[in-house]
Structure 1
Amino acid sequence: MEQRRLGALTTSAIGLGCMGFSQAYGPADDEESIGVIRDALDHGITLIDTAMSYGQGHNERLVGQAIAGRREDVVLATKFGIVRGEGGVRVDGRPENVRGYCDASLQRLGVDVIDLYYLHRVDPQVPIGETIGAMADLVTTGKVRHLGVSEVNPAQLEQAVAAYPIAAVEFEWSLAWREPEDDVVPAARRLGVGLVPYSPLGRGLLTGALPAGPFPEGDFRRTDPRFGEEHLTANLDLVQALAKAAEERGVTPGQMALAWLLAQGDDVVPIPGTRNRKRLAENAAAAGIEVGPVAVVPREAWRGDRTSFAAHGTTRNWAGSTD
C-alpha cells in the first residue's frame, strides 16, 4: 500500500479505526475482531488506531492480542484523556496522570512503546501545553515515539505544537462532514501536522449499506441527528447520487468517498472502521483508486450535525463515545 507521512511518522495511506470492536455499534465477536485486524495487516494497513476509553480498556487488550507476533508490521496509535467509569464519562488531561495512563495502555497492548500517542480530548481545566509537556516526557523516556491531538481547534493546535512537535491531528472529516476544511485543516497544514480523519465513511452512511430498519440497541447512531428520521431520508438521497457516480467509475460508494478524501492531500490518512472482512478489503483497495474529479454534493445539503453530543460547550471538545 502507498505510504504517507504524518509529521515525521510514516504509515499506510489508510488505517484501521478499532473503536467499533468494543463500543458504539452494538456487540461484536472478539475472535472475529482479531481476525479483521490481522487481515488489515495482510492488506498492507499499518496504522491501527485504538484508545484507552474504548470499552474501558477492552479495545487495547483486543488490539494487543491481534498484533502479537506482528509488532513490526504495525504503526500503533492509542489515545488517553477520555475516562469512563461508573460515574459516567469525563475528560482528564492533568499532567500528573499522563504517565499512569500511558503505562496502563502499554500493559493492555502488550508492547514496550506506542508509535503515536494522542490526547483524546482537551481537558477544559488544563492548558493544553501542560498536558503536551507531560506527553513529551514519555518520548524522552522511550515509551512513546510521536505525539498527536484529537478534536482540537486551531488555537489549541498552535499551543500544542508550541509545546512539542505534533505528528497528527485526528478529527471527523468526510464528504458528509466538511466543516474542518474551514479551520483545522488549513491550520494543521500551516503547522506541518498530518491529518487523520475518523469516520471517513460518515459512520457507514457513505457506503450506502446501512442496516435495514431501526438501528439495534447499543448502536450510537440511534441518537445521531444525521441518522434520525427527520434527516436520514434526505441524506440517503444524497448517497444515491454518490452511488451513481461511483458506479460510473466502477467503484463502490465507500471507495469513492475514501478516494476523494485521499485526494485532498498526501498528508491525509483516513482510518475507517469496520467489522466486516469484505468491507475491510474494499476500504484497503481504495488506496489504489483514482476517481478523478468528483461532483461533490454541496456540503450544506447534508442534514443533521453533532451538536447533540456536546459535553463541554463545543462540538470540538465533546466527550462522546463515537471516535
Structure 2
Amino acid sequence: MTSSTSTAAGSGTWTLGDLTINRIGFGAMRLTQDGAALDADAVPSDRNRAIGVLRRAVELGVNHIDTAAFYFSSLRSANELINRALAPYPDDLVITTKVGPARDPAGQWATHAVTPTELRGQVEENLRQLGRDHLDVVNLRVLGTHSIAERFGALADLREAGLIRHLGVSNVHPHQLAEALAIAPVVCVQNRYGIGIRADQDEFVRSCGEQGIAFVPFYAIAGAAGQVGVVGDDAAEVFDVARAHDASPAQVRLAWTLHQGPHVLAIPGTGNPEHLVANVAAGALRLTEADLAVLGDLHRRVGG
C-alpha cells in the first residue's frame, strides 16, 4: 500500500466528548528509550529524533497523542518531549494521559495502591510537564478487579474543578466501567486488545460502541510480545493478508483493529520516523470481508 502521502485523516474520525480526533493517533510510550518500553535499564532514546517524530506525526494529521507522566527513561520524559516538540499546541490536538501507576525516579514501580491525594498529585504533575492549564482526557489505569469508585470519584472531582476535561478508564473489566459511569461520563476505555489477543474482550468492545464510548487498544501491533515490541513472528494468515495488500503485518494488525467498529481507535507508538509513516498509512487500509473472516478466525482461535 502507498504510505508516503497517507495522512491520519484516512482513518476517519471519532469524538471524545466534544473533542473530534482522527482514529489513528500516536502513543508516546516508546519515545523515551530504545528497546523494551518502561524498562528501567533500557538505553535512553535520541532526543532530537523523538522530537522530530512528534512533529512529523502532527504533520501527518495525527491529532490524538496518548502519554503519561510515568513514561520516562533516565534522561527522557515523554511529556517533556511532547511539550518541547509541539507547544504552543495546535487547537485540534488532543492529549490523553493516564494516572494510577507510579514509578520512582529510578524507574521502579511503586508497590502500594495510589490514593486519591496521590492521584491529584499525578494530575498536577502531568499539567506541569505538558505546560497545560487543564488535561483533555485522563484515564484511570486500573490493576485488578476491585472497586474503582473512590479513585475514579477523585478524578471526577478534579473534572468538576476544571483540571480535567474528560475522563476514561484503562485496563478495566465491564463491571468497573459500569461503576465509573455511575459516577461521571466516560469517553474511552483503553484495554489490551488485538488479533489473537484477548478475544474475551470482543463483547466488551461491542458494548463500548453501543454506549458511545471509544475503545482504544494498546499493544495492538506487538500482540503477545506486549511492551517488548514487535518480534516478527506473525501468523501465516497475517502475512498472507499483508502480501495481498502490499502492506506490512503491523499495518494489517492496525487495520484489523480499526475494522472492529467506528468507535475503535489506534495509538501505535514508535520512535522510528519510517514506522510512524507506515502506522499512519494503516488507517487507510481497507480489508475485505474475506480478509476479516480469516483474521477473525485466527483471533478467536489464538486469543481465547
Please indicate the TM-score interval, normalised by the length of the shorter structure: 0.7 to 0.9
Aligned counterpart, 1:45: 62
Partner of 1:61: 80
- Give the stretch that moved more between structures: 108-117 or 87-96: 87-96
Tell me which residue corresponds to 2:53: 36
| Equivalence for 2:116 | 95
Question: CA offset at residue 257 of structure 1?
Answer: 1.6
Aligned residue type for 1:104: E
- 1:78-157 matches, within 5 Å, as 78-85=97-104, 88-90=109-111, 92-122=113-143, 127-157=147-177
Q: Which amino acid aligns with 1:298?
A: L
1:298 aligns with 2:303: no
1:184 Cα offset (Å):
2.9
Aligned residue in 1 for 2:214: 194
Give distance in 2, aligned partners of 1:10 and 1:120. Answer: 23
Q: TM-score, normalised by structure 2?
A: 0.82
Q: Which residue of 1 aligns with 2:239?
A: 243
Partner of 1:254: 250
Contact 1:158 1:191 in 2 (8 A): no
CA distance in 2, matches of 1:237, 1:132: 37
Q: Conserved in 2, the CA contact under 8 Å of 1:82 and 1:91?
A: no
Distance change (3 Å), C-alpha of 1:20 and 1:165: same
Secondary structure at the counterpart of residue 119 of structure 1: strand
- Shift in alpha-carbon separation, 1:40–1:298, aligned structure 2, 3 A: same
| Distance verdict in 2 for CA 1:91–1:41, change over 3 Å | farther
Partner of 1:11: 21
Map 1:203-222 to 2 at 5 A: 221=228
Give the TM-score normalised by the residue count of structure 1.
0.77
Cα offset, 1:137, TM superposition: 1.9
Q: Does 1:285 align with 2:304?
A: no
* TM-superposed deviation, 1:267: 0.2
Deviation at 1:281, TM superposition (A): 0.8
Name 1:214's counterpart in structure 2: none
Deviations 1:166-210 (A, max 9, x none): 0001011111313353453244234432101111112597xxxxx
Farther off after superposition, 34-43 or 191-200: 191-200
2:5 alignment partner in structure 1: none
Q: Please state whether the residue corresponding to 2:261 is helix, strand or coil.
A: coil
Which runs of 5 or more residues in structure 1 are unaligned? Answer: 206-218, 306-323
- CA gap of 1:123–1:107, structure 2 versus 1, over 3 A, is farther
Kept in 2, the 8 Å contact 1:80–1:120? The answer is: yes
Shift of residue 139, structure 1, vs aligned partner: 1.8
Identity of aligned residues (%): 32
Structure 2 stretches lacking a partner, 5+ long:
1-8
Deviations along 1:54-100, one digit per CA (max 9) or x if unpaired, are: 12782221222122123424100111110112664336442223222
Alpha-carbon shift at residue 115 of structure 1 (Å): 0.7
